[in-house]
Amino acid sequence: MLASPGHAGARLFMFILKPLGDKRIGLLWSSQLLSATGAEFYMVAVIWIASSLIGRDAGYVSALQSGALLFGSLFAGALTDRWRHATTMVGVSLFRAALLLLLAAASAFGFMSLPLLAVTAGAVALATSVYDPALQATLPILAPGTSIRHAVNGLFDATRRMARILGPSLIALVNGLVPIGQFFAITAGGFLLSALGVRAALKGAPLPAPPETRRGLSSVLDAIMGGARAVRHHRLMHFGLIADFVGNVTWSMGVLLGMALYLRMTSAEPLTAYSLMMTAYGAGNLAANLVLAGITPKRPLLWLVMSKLTFGLGVLLMPFAPNTAALMACAALAAVNGPFENLALLHIIQHDFPPQRIAQVYRLQMCAVFGGSLIGYLAAPSLFAAFGLAPMIATLGAVTLATGLVGLALSRLLHGPRPT
């Protein structure tokens, strides 16, 4: 007798949540959710304060953060590869909390300035580039089985998706009650609680000690180039990095900045329309994540292709949506891309590369993400001025869609032999 769709869905949901029964994974996941939700307050506060100081050029503050993330992804490993991952995550969380408490104090006492905001935002971004690879290198050790590891990847990927729903909701709740400058204090509180949770989760965990590395220039070069060397014969990872780069140019220039500017020009209630669009995006992200977390990507290339097709089509249609409901539908379609891409890339990184290279390869992926965002933010002003908002947003969607079609056309080549 076949199980009903409801029973099958319930079993899938329980399978996805099962790893949270492990105390270490549950604590670490809760810490990550706190950190991600607090980060939503931080992002709103940075953009809001920057826009009040320099107007529409506030996008350059976002470019600075992307540049710091890219720099950290390239070079921070020369230092942090010698640290234990638990030490890295706890230390980074405390460091970010201290920086944000400084911003909260500056805002409270009237000392906020653009240089202080920019330098602190860059430092926070640099620290973030250190935290994420350490987390990703820890997860395979806490969840060694293939199927359970994929469910864990889905759960941790979902923290960002959930934060995109929880964060705006909480911001709406406290807006008007809490000054915008004190959003930094809320984020700092989230990072402090996250540090405590990570410390409790990983205390006594069987995490390997940092590998013995040679000192001097050779160790620095290995930390910087190790990821690139590891993927040099991995054609599927090459495509994944290119697709990630293209998608993040489109995300930063077309969705985050482009649609905000476009709705300000065309909508009677631009902030409401933009908020609803992003809420739909977050809901689509989370729904896709919950479904895909229970399905192991046996052919990760198809997941990468699907991510570019859905994202490209959704962005292509956004500026032509006739009403807010249609815009939300386009955003929900585009949002499917995130879990497809992230879970496929995590699967490839964790299964095709040795443990000592996981953090380095993940940093290489972060370079593709933040490099794409940096170029998107920097190129946006001149491209929007030259070609217009709607045509440029649609073009970005079309290029992303074409990337997926290219991956599909090259599927036989990209499924070549994997490295041992």
How far apart CA 87 and CA 195 sit, in angstroms, is 10
Instruction: Say which DSSP state 420 is in.
Output: -
* Gap between the Cα atoms of 231 and 151, Å rounded: 25
Nearest to 334 by CA among 263, 247, 245, 392: 247
Residue pair 334/247 in contact (Cβ under 8 Å)? The answer is no
Distance of CA 252 to the CA centre of its chain: 12
Instruction: Collect all residues with Cβ–Cβ distance below 8 Å to 68 and sequence separation of at least 6.
Output: 121, 122, 123, 125, 126, 129
Residue 126: how many other CB atoms lie within 10 Å? 22
Cβ-based neighbour number of residue 401 at 10 Å: 20
Query: Distance between CA atoms of 248 and 232, rounded to whole angstroms?
Result: 22
The residue whose two tokens read 């994420």 is 132
Q: In whole angstroms, what is the distance from residue 53 CA to residue 35 CA?
A: 27
Whole-prediction pTM: 0.73
The three-state (H, E, C) secondary structure of 245-259, written as one string: HHHHHHHHHHHHHHH
One pLDDT digit (tens) per residue for the chain, 420 residues? 445 544 544 554 455 566 667 788 888 888 888 888 888 778 777 877 776 777 656 667 878 888 888 887 777 655 556 667 778 888 889 999 999 999 999 988 888 888 898 888 888 888 887 787 777 777 777 776 666 776 777 778 778 778 877 776 677 677 677 787 888 898 899 899 988 988 888 887 666 555 555 554 455 556 557 777 888 888 888 999 999 999 999 998 999 888 888 888 888 877 678 878 888 888 898 888 888 877 878 888 999 999 999 999 999 999 999 999 999 999 999 999 988 998 899 888 888 888 777 777 888 888 888 889 889 888 888 898 899 999 999 999 999 999 999 998 888 776 644 443
Alpha helices in 203-299 (DSSP H): 217-230, 235-249, 260-266, 270-292
Distance CA 118, CA 126 (A): 12
